[in-house]
Amino acid sequence: MKRYLVPAVLALLLLAAGCASQDTRGQGPSGGPGGPGVQGESGGPGGPGGPGGPVTAEQRVADMKTRLGLTDEQVAAVTPIIQEQLEGEKSLMDQARSGDSDARKAVQQKMDDLNWETDKKLAKILTEDQMLAYSKWRDEMAAKRNSDRPEPPEGGPGGGRPPRQ
């Protein structure tokens, strides 16, 4: 069973990362919303989709330490991985904003690949229980981001007739 658990967890993380990669956040000044002293990805002010701006590697790792019970050694090993991921995500999001829909699809694939690589690296550092908790946390964050998005109008993009009841 263990043989199937890690690939399953990584697949779930990849799916969650795909949803998460479409998140756009406002940028607050360092002393205002999103600056020091606000909560990171815990869902409070400054959380994803909120007014607080992009999450930093330090915020993400601090949340991981709290939620997953990381040791100091794990924190030291995870920090550069998260930093690399966030830098890659920022670069890819910049590419997506400047391209057409075909370019955005290519960027989405690159984002999925980046998240997959990050998850593989984290799986080497985190325990099985920590990896499961991480997967659950990422799924929750993706669900929260998706629930914050407005629903499309009834009847589809053209606003036609609503579906039959």
pLDDT of 123-153, one tens digit each? Answer: 999 999 999 999 898 888 878 877 876 665 5
Residue 22's identity, in one-letter code, is: Q
Tokens of 78: 């995870």
Chain segment 44-91, per-residue pLDDT in tens? 444 444 445 678 999 999 999 999 999 999 999 999 999 999 999 898
Q: Answer whether residue 34 shows pLDDT above 50.
A: no
Backbone angles phi, psi at 48, to 5 degrees: -65, 140
Q: Is the pLDDT of residue 115 over 90?
A: no
pTM summary value: 0.58
Q: How far is CA 74 from CA 79, 126, 148, in A?
A: 8, 7, 32
Contact residues for 51 (Cβ-Cβ < 8 A; gap 6+):
26, 28, 33, 34, 45
